[in-house]
Chains A and B, each alone.
Chain A
Amino acid sequence: MSASSVAENLRRARRGVGMSGSGSGAPRPTRKSKKFTARTWTLLAFALPSLALLLLLNLYPVIYAGIQSLRSGSLIDSGTFVGLQNYTNILTEPAFWKAAQFTVIFTVVGVFGSWLVGLVFALLLRTRIPAGGVFKVLLLLPWIVPVVVSSTSWNWLVATPQSPFPVIASHLGLGNVLFLADPVLAQVTVCIFKVWISFPFMMMMMASALASVDTNVYEAAKVDGASNWQSFRLITLPLIARTTFVSWILMTIFCVNDFPTIFLLTGGGPVNATQSLVVLAYLTVFQNFQTGPGVAIAFLMTFVLVVISVVLYRQIRKVNVE
């Protein structure tokens, strides 16, 4: 067909969209079966490269890891089949449960901490502020800057008694505050570090959800005498509920899988207080050279995470249908 008729049709289609306000304005072409086949083949070809990479780089390793977790072995020696022994050993290991406990703390604080901070900032930046756009970009920096850089900086700020934060703390009469040497304080510091890194992501998610809320609704609520808090709780929250839900799921995955944030700041110490399951799995494989147990830890974690992910994924789809 000639190019001009394509252009003409495009214009017509655009008008069609404009009139009906949705993408289904133009009549659907009746497809011949021959064309349908060509279409199917094209779509298959479109998906094929991603499918191949998925099989090689994502599914193969998972299956291999599953098999490896049933064997005793190291990185160079595949070992012998030991059945579920690696799993039973791990499940009776106190270090595993301690790591699982910290993983839960880290994830809960990471998800809700960054969500709260992100939401407050998104709400604040939605109002009219001089140079608001500049702040929007500046506040994304903690998420843009590589973790290796920010962990180095946080180390400088808190690690030793001569660092700025401990010095300020002792000037305030708090004594010798050991941010990374005291087990509980190290856990708190790592969690705050995670919130600091992740809130911009939440801020962006929440800002995009808030942008879709029609401001007329607030005007109407104001006329009806609703307070700011009421209109937030009764209008804003329900309208951003779905994005909030999605962002919690994504952040849960990010937090459980997070290796560098913890490893770079504390290395899992002091006395393993900040060892999450990922860090424990890493150390088991690459420091103790026990592939079987290390993979088993990662695999247990993967299994739990996949189950949670699939359940939540179906939940989102349900919310979406309603």
Chain B
Amino acid sequence: MSTLSVRKARIGAEPGEITKVAKRITSQDLQERGKWWRFVLILIITAIVLVPIIAVVGLSFTPSLGSTVTGNFTLENYGLVFSQTAVAAWLKNSLTATLITVVIATAVAAPAGYVLSRARNKLVSGYSLVLFVVQSLPVVTAVIPLFILFAKFNLVDNLAGVTIIYVGSTMSVAIWMMAAYYDSIPIALEEAAWMDGASLFGSFTRIVLRNALPGILSTAIFSFLLAWNDYLIALVFLRSDPNYTLPVGLETFFQQNATNWGLVMAVAVVMMLPPVILFTFLNKYFSVGGIGGSLAGR
């Protein structure tokens, strides 16, 4: 699918394209009639699906218990959570751990994915299989031994420890996604460079990586979501309030203030904003189809 579209884009319009366009117009005419009905249908569905998210945003602007604010709208909750809780520290911790994970995971996956995409032999197939198996392991299994290991190196209750594990847990999917994207880049580009005497490393950095930018972005977004949303690893490894990331911070705060929904939801909004903003701007680069394609293609 993505392979095809990329190739088509490179080739330009095919001879059959014009007739296809003509046919599509007739089917579009048929579709035209029902389009507003479908619009209403999807509008209702979307509204129902998004009720929990609308509730979070709405409650965060609603005066909470014991508030002196009259009326239905206030920004007070946000002021309160930033002054009364360590939410600023949690946000900083989450951003630090996530961004470092994104950078390392992508930097490791970019060359490794290239190997999976271009070199095809028993060894590489075996490596691909190992990655698949690793991906299917429950995190709980890895967490216990790593906890014991990290305790020896003072990495428990330490943001660095959590970040290292995030890299490990995002890596295999990141490699797959990169490999899937490289599959869509014609090898002829590199072969031409090799004929001119470029080394494999040279062709990789100057030709492949430059063409793989959408794939790199997609991988980076995926790593971001995985690291940002993690709860289990942070729950096990982070033990003190100032070291919490947002998921553990929010959950702890929720347990302590379960009825004070305005404050809880203000923290929740702070937590969901970065991934939502990221996704709003970059969603066109993001495709999970690549994961499946890469899995099926190897």
Q: Which residues on A are within 8 Å of B, measured CB to CB?
A: 1, 5-6, 9-10, 12-14, 16-18, 21-26, 28-29, 38-39, 42-43, 45-47, 49-51, 53-54, 56-62, 64-65, 68, 75, 121, 124-125, 127-132, 135, 137-142, 144-150, 152-157, 164, 196, 201, 204-205, 207-209, 211-212, 215-216, 218-219, 242-243, 245-247, 249-250, 253, 256-257, 259-260, 263-264, 278, 281-282, 285-286, 291, 294-295, 298-299, 301-302, 305-306, 309-310, 313, 316-317, 319-320
Contact B296 A243 (CB under 8 A): yes
Known contacts A17-B186, A50-B171, A157-B52; is A58 also within 8 Å of B271 by CB? no
For B67, the chain A residues whose CB sits under 8 A away are none
Complex alpha-carbon distance, A132 and B31, angstroms: 14
Complex alpha-carbon distance, A128 and B148, angstroms: 55
Known contacts A1-B198, A53-B168, then 11 further A-B pairs from the complex at CB < 8 Å, ordered by chain A residue: A28-B191, A61-B149, A208-B293, A209-B292, A243-B289, A249-B295, A257-B139, A291-B144, A301-B138, A305-B138, A316-B296
Residue of chain A at shortest CB distance from B16: A216
Q: Tell yes or no: B197 within 8 A of A by CB.
A: yes
Contact B132 A204 (CB under 8 A): no
Complex alpha-carbon distance, A108 and B208, angstroms: 40
Secondary structure of the A side of the interface?
A: helix
For A156, the chain B residues whose CB sits under 8 A away are 55, 59, 261, 265
- Which residues of chain B from 11 to 36 have any CB-CB distance to chain A below 8 Å in the complex? 11-12, 20, 23-24, 27-28, 31-32, 34-36
For A38, the chain B residues whose CB sits under 8 A away are 199-200
Contact A62 B137 (CB under 8 A): yes
Known contacts A9-B196, A212-B4; is A29 also within 8 Å of B142 by CB? no
Q: Which residues on B are within 8 Å of A, measured CB to CB?
A: 1-2, 4-5, 7, 10-12, 20, 23-24, 27-28, 31-32, 34-36, 38-39, 41-43, 45-46, 49-53, 55-56, 59, 108-109, 111-112, 114-115, 118-119, 127, 129-149, 164-165, 167-169, 171-172, 175, 186-189, 191-201, 204, 207, 225, 228-229, 231-232, 236, 246-247, 250-251, 254, 261, 264-265, 268, 271-272, 275-276, 279-280, 283, 287-289, 291-293, 295-298
